[in-house]
C-alpha cells in the first residue's frame, strides 16, 4: 500500500486535488485535476514505463466541462459505493453504456473536451495519496504536484 498523507500536509507541500479519473493503467493516465488552482485535464500516454517521471499533457477545462465531468464522476462514485458494498455487480458499471442514460449523455457532451489540443502544455506530475476512500464524489485519494517538463 502506498504511503498516505493528511490533506493539510499535501496542500502545504504544493499538491493539488484530482477530481475525476478518466483512465488508470499502472497509475493515473487521464482525468481532471487542479493545476495552479484551476481545473485542467491531464493525459499521459506513456504505457511503456521508459521514463522515471510521469509526464502529462495538460490543458484548461472550461467551467461548463468541469460541471459536467463532476456530474458524471458522481454517478460513477455512487455506483462504486454500491459495487464495493456488494449490492451490484460489475455488469452494472455505468461506463458500459446503455445502463445510465445521463452518464451516456454526459460522455457524448464531454468527448470533445477530453481531446488534448495541439498546444497542450507538458508537465511532470508527482503523485501522493491521502487516507480517504479511493473513489468519492468529491474526487480521488490521489493528488498531484506539478512541475515543468525538462
What is the count of structural domains for the chain?
1
**Three-state secondary-structure class, residue 20:** strand
Mean pLDDT of 135-141: 95
The pLDDT of residue 62 is: 98
State the DSSP code for 114.
T
Share of the chain above pLDDT 70, in %: 95
Q: What is the pLDDT of residues 51-96, one digit of tens each?
A: 556 899 999 999 999 999 999 999 999 999 999 999 999 999 999 9
* CA nearest neighbour of 110 among 29, 27, 30, 26: 30
Q: What is the pLDDT of residues 37-48, one digit of tens each?
A: 999 999 997 766
| Grid coordinates belonging to 121 | 502544455
* CA nearest neighbour of 109 among 62, 42, 56, 45: 62
Rounded to two decimals, the pTM is: 0.92
The pLDDT of residue 95 is: 96
The pLDDT of residue 144 is: 97
Structural domain span for residue 81: 4-148
pLDDT surpassing 80 at residue 138? yes
What confidence tier does 116 reach under pLDDT thresholds 50, 70, 90? very high
pLDDT surpassing 90 at residue 16? yes
Amino acid at each position: 500500500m502506498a504511503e498516505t498523507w493528511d490533506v493539510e500536509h499535501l496542500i502545504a507541500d504544493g499538491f493539488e486535488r484530482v477530481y475525476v479519473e478518466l483512465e488508470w493503467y499502472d497509475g493515473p493516465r487521464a482525468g481532471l485535476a487542479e493545476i495552479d488552482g484551476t481545473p485542467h485535464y491531464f493525459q499521459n500516454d506513456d504505457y511503456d514505463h521508459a521514463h522515471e517521471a510521469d509526464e502529462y499533457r495538460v490543458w484548461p477545462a472550461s467551467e461548463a466541462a468541469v460541471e459536467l465531468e463532476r456530474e458524471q464522476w458522481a454517478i460513477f462514485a455512487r455506483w462504486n459505493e454500491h459495487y464495493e458494498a456488494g449490492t451490484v455487480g460489475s455488469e452494472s458499471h455505468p461506463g458500459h453504456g446503455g445502463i445510465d442514460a445521463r452518464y451516456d449523455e454526459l460522455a457524448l457532451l464531454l468527448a470533445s473536451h477530453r481531446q488534448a489540443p495541439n498546444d497542450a502544455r507538458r508537465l511532470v506530475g508527482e503523485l501522493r495519496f491521502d487516507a480517504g476512500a479511493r473513489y468519492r464524489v468529491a474526487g480521488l485519494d490521489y493528488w498531484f504536484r506539478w512541475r515543468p517538463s525538462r
